[in-house]
Amino acid sequence: MDGNINSPGAGTENPTGVEEVEGQTRAIIQSSLNALLDSNTFLPELKDNMRVQAFTSMSSILSTPNKIHKSFLRVPLDDGSVVRIPSFRVQHNDALGPYKGGIRFHESVNEEEVVNLAFLMTLKNALHNVPFGGGKGGILLNPRHYSDKELNLICRKYVRYFSDVIGPDKDIPAPDVGSGEREMDWMMAEYKRIKHGSPYLGSFTGKSVANGGSLGRREATGKGVYFTFRYLFSDYVREHADELAASDNPFAATALAHANRPLKLAVQGFGNVGSVAALEAYNSTETDNKVVAVSDRNVTLYNEEGLDIPALIAFANTNRGDLPSTIDQIAQTGVKASIKGRDKLLTLPVDVLILAALENQIHEGNMREIQARVIVEGANAPTTQEADEYLSDQGVIIIPDILANAGGVIVSYFEWLQGRETQFYTEEEVFRLLLAKMKSTMDIILPQFFGDPFPLRQNCFIHAVMRLTTVLYRQGKLY
């Protein structure tokens, strides 16, 4: 096995202690643990020094991954040269089940980023009561710079290098930025070849339906993202309008101000997540909203009367996923839109921003110019800590990543179950189960959110950390 830094087979328990989850997330874990430490209804049997010690143990368990696997994939290219591509698999925590998380194909992938994303997966699964732990993978490349044949080899090499540490009951990868069902099919096929005779359908999720994937997986994250927004501002506010009106919680005022009136939405990122969330908004009959802006890696398109999302999706489908970015291309789609700079989308006069591109998009440099009072995090960690605090202090409601974008992992769980049973659900059944699961999480979190002074992200973290702490305590792991 050439090029391994840590032998994947061996794995290393937090080898150096260096790669801990970054400051923002650490701070939120710590304040969640502090809130639970002070709560006399949470694990009341844990008292005095034992209680303090258990919470200190929990803090170290959550802020460090269990294992970090890294390799340099040796890949012969079409022109005969050989490259070595850095690749990672981070296994953060498996208290609730096998590690689970996507593999990102991107030119800025690095170990710290993968550790943070793996940690978010641990929390996301705990929050939504999905029986998986948290993991994440990354391959440092720009997939557009490689031929299909080269990408196929890269995928197979990744599986070869990490085959000892992944598998249906150990660690189940899925697509992330830059990867999709094609890559998962290739990877599953390689896993099947290596582990000949073992169950393999559950080794990867996000596969094509032809290869044992679930109907509805591709749309799941975008649908879930839009659902969290719609459920909060439409169903929940309607049912709890009187309580919210009587509350002095600043977020209750924001929620009421955005219910039952026309809303303008802007969607950053027009890939798997962004395009589906935009289409859900476009097609919604329950809420009066218009998607007035969308953006991708090249451009922002804007029309204050609303954009024709199906026409833009049709264009992207035949243009490697890109939006039209020239006047000629826009004319070709028949869409009415003006072209603006890529990042202009974030500061447009809209009510709701759906962030579905990459992390750190709203930050200290642009947070004061954000006009939206509602932000929905389809991407992972698109808001920095400074921006999160600043906007939350202004009463902006941020529906955080671990709540909003869990649709993908929830349907991945259904895919894994279907693969185990070799019984497959209809698309209608998948969406029904998905939205029921997200609703059940929202129904626990929203009353807490409107009843206390914490932002929604903090409420979600507290709930996830509570579930993990309970399980680890009952497993005797906090001594």
Active site amino acids: 136
Check: CB of residue 382 under 8 Å from CB of residue 362: yes
Ramachandran angles phi, psi of 265, nearest 5°: -115, 145
Interface residue with ligand NAD, options 5, 313, 358, 417 (CB under 6 A): 358
Q: Which of residues 171-190 bind ligand NAD (CB under 6 A)?
A: 176-178
| Minimal distance, residue 410 CB to ligand NAD, in Å | 10
For residue 132, is it left (φ>0), alpha (ψ between -120 and 50) or beta? beta
Among 377, 412, 357, 440, CA closest to 225? 377
| Minimal distance, residue 267 CB to ligand NAD, in Å | 9
Q: Is 313 in the site for ligand NAD (CB under 6 A)?
A: no
Interface residue with ligand NAD, options 32, 87, 91, 221 (CB under 6 A): 221
Among the listed ranges 24-32, 36-44, 131-139, 376-384, the one in contact with ligand NAD (CB under 6 A) is: 376-384
Q: Which is nearer to ligand NAD, 54 or 345 (CB)?
A: 345
Q: Is 133 in the site for ligand NAD (CB under 6 A)?
A: no
Report how far apart, in Å, the C-alpha atoms of 244 and of each of 91, 237, 255, 314, 381 are.
Answer: 41, 8, 8, 41, 28
Q: Is 51 in the site for ligand NAD (CB under 6 A)?
A: no
Interface residue with ligand NAD, options 65, 98, 408, 419 (CB under 6 A): 408
Return d(Cα 319, Cα 311) in angstroms, integer. Answer: 13
CB-CB neighbours of 341 under 10 Å: 10
Total count of residues recorded for the chain: 479
Single-letter residue type at 187:
M
Check: CB of residue 117 under 8 Å from CB of residue 380: yes
The Cβ-side half-sphere exposure at 289, using a 13 Å CA radius, reads 31
Q: Which is nearer to ligand NAD, 254 or 380 (CB)?
A: 380
| Minimal distance, residue 103 CB to ligand NAD, in Å | 11
Roughly what angle, to the nearest 10 degrees, separates helices 48-63 and 456-474?
A: 110
| Minimal distance, residue 180 CB to ligand NAD, in Å | 7
Ramachandran angles phi, psi of 138, nearest 5°: -155, 145
| Minimal distance, residue 474 CB to ligand NAD, in Å | 29
Q: Which residue is nearest to ligand NAD (CB)?
A: 271
Interface residue with ligand NAD, options 25, 125, 380, 458 (CB under 6 A): 380
Q: Is 434 in the site for ligand NAD (CB under 6 A)?
A: no
Size of the site for ligand NAD (CB under 6 A): 24
The Cβ-side half-sphere exposure at 33, using a 13 Å CA radius, reads 21
Residues in contact with 14: Cβ distance below 8 Å, sequence separation at least 6, in sequence order: 64, 65, 66, 67, 68
| Minimal distance, residue 9 CB to ligand NAD, in Å | 28
DSSP for 151-201, written as a single string: HHHHHHHHHHHHTTT-BTTTEEEEE-TT--HHHHHHHHHHHHHHTTTS--G
| Minimal distance, residue 381 CB to ligand NAD, in Å | 8
Interface residue with ligand NAD, options 405, 418, 441, 458 (CB under 6 A): 405
Among the listed ranges 48-56, 59-67, 91-99, 268-276, the one in contact with ligand NAD (CB under 6 A) is: 268-276
Q: Is 268 in the site for ligand NAD (CB under 6 A)?
A: yes
Q: Which is nearer to ligand NAD, 33 or 266 (CB)?
A: 266
Return d(Cα 239, Cα 321) in angstroms, integer. Answer: 39
Interface residue with ligand NAD, options 109, 273, 435, 465 (CB under 6 A): 273
Q: Is 441 in the site for ligand NAD (CB under 6 A)?
A: no
Q: Is 400 in the site for ligand NAD (CB under 6 A)?
A: no
Among 34, 20, 26, CA closest to 454? 34
Q: Is 271 in the site for ligand NAD (CB under 6 A)?
A: yes
Among the listed ranges 36-44, 84-92, 264-272, 386-394, the one in contact with ligand NAD (CB under 6 A) is: 264-272
Interface residue with ligand NAD, options 272, 333, 384, 392 (CB under 6 A): 272
CB-CB neighbours of 467 under 10 Å: 18
Check: CB of residue 93 under 8 Å from CB of residue 133: yes
Interface residue with ligand NAD, options 296, 351, 388, 415 (CB under 6 A): 296
Place of tokens 């969308």: 294
* Tally of helices (H runs) and strands (E runs) in the chain: 17, 12
Among the listed ranges 15-23, 27-35, 304-312, 356-364, the one in contact with ligand NAD (CB under 6 A) is: 356-364
Residues that bind ligand NAD (CB under 6 A): 176-178, 221, 268-274, 295-297, 321, 342, 356-358, 378-380, 405, 408
